[in-house]
Amino acid sequence: MIRNLLTAAALLAAGCAVLHTGIAAAQHPATHQHSFGDAQKWAQVFDDPRRDAWQKPHQVIEALGLAPDAAVADIGSGTGYFSVRLAHMMPNGRVYGVDLEPEMVKHLAERARSEGLKNIVAVAGAADNPRLPAKVDLILMVDVYHHIGDRERYLRKLQASLKPGGRIAIIDFRMNSRDGPPKGERIAPTRVQTEFKSAGYALLKEHAFLPNQYFLIFRALKP
């Protein structure tokens, strides 16, 4: 099963990369180098306005084609870069920001309260389970997929968290991107598609507007 999903507390002895046994706050190309206990510090990195130029968050959310009242799980939500934007763009929807790092979960909950975003729920995920309190229309994973260990098994398990017709969106760094994790740790989009097919999903769309990342959307074949 996925090992220590959504945690980034463990580092390689050389201090140069996050272990594949951990994922958290993964939505930034520099996150393979550090742990994430200090959420306030990392908020300055993850939510740096300069990130918008290459992450194109609003264009990403528009491409997801979400209904105004959709339920979305942002797995590996970190400080809420996408969760907060989703909540603003879906005022009648629900956003579950999932992370295993306690400081990140606390930070997102406090951020939602301070910004008056009552449609955000900060969720403390488990090693092999996002612990979503309800089924969702979409699961979003940004710069998270390459950290997952037993991906096919995990993807099969995620089907239980999707509503009928539910989708999973994967955004991760291209093999030739100058930014992102070490090239040996990246997952090619063709491999992502193969693994999703084996886990019972079909590719719906592939977007190419992100300069550093591929963007794939899958739908579960079974409700």
The proportion of the chain whose per-residue pLDDT surpasses 90, expressed as a percent, equals 68
Q: How much is the pLDDT for 48?
A: 63
Q: Which of 18-32, 47-61, 181-195, 204-218 has the lowest mean pLDDT?
A: 18-32
| Integer CA distances (angstroms), 8 to 11, 76, 222, in order | 7, 10, 32
Using alpha carbons, select from 133, 115, 116 the residue that is nearest to residue 124: 133
CATH of domain 31-220: 3.40.50.150
Residues 172-207 pLDDT 10s: 999 999 988 899 999 999 999 999 999 999 999 999
CA 164, CA 134: separation in Å to the nearest integer?
Answer: 13
Contact 57, 87 (CB under 8 A): no
Q: How confident is the model at residue 150 (pLDDT cuts 50, 70, 90)?
A: confident
Q: Is the pTM of this model over 0.95?
A: no
Query: Has residue 24 got a pLDDT over 70?
Result: no
Q: How much is the pLDDT for 20?
A: 32
Q: How confident is the model at residue 223 (pLDDT cuts 50, 70, 90)?
A: low
CA 205 to chain centre: 18
HSE (side-chain half, CA atoms, 13 Å) at 113: 7
Q: If you average pLDDT over every residue of the chain, what do you get?
A: 82
Query: Has residue 53 got a pLDDT over 70?
Result: yes
When pLDDT is averaged across residues 80-101 and rounded to a whole number, the result is: 95
Domain ranges of the chain: 31-220
Q: How much is the pLDDT for 199?
A: 96
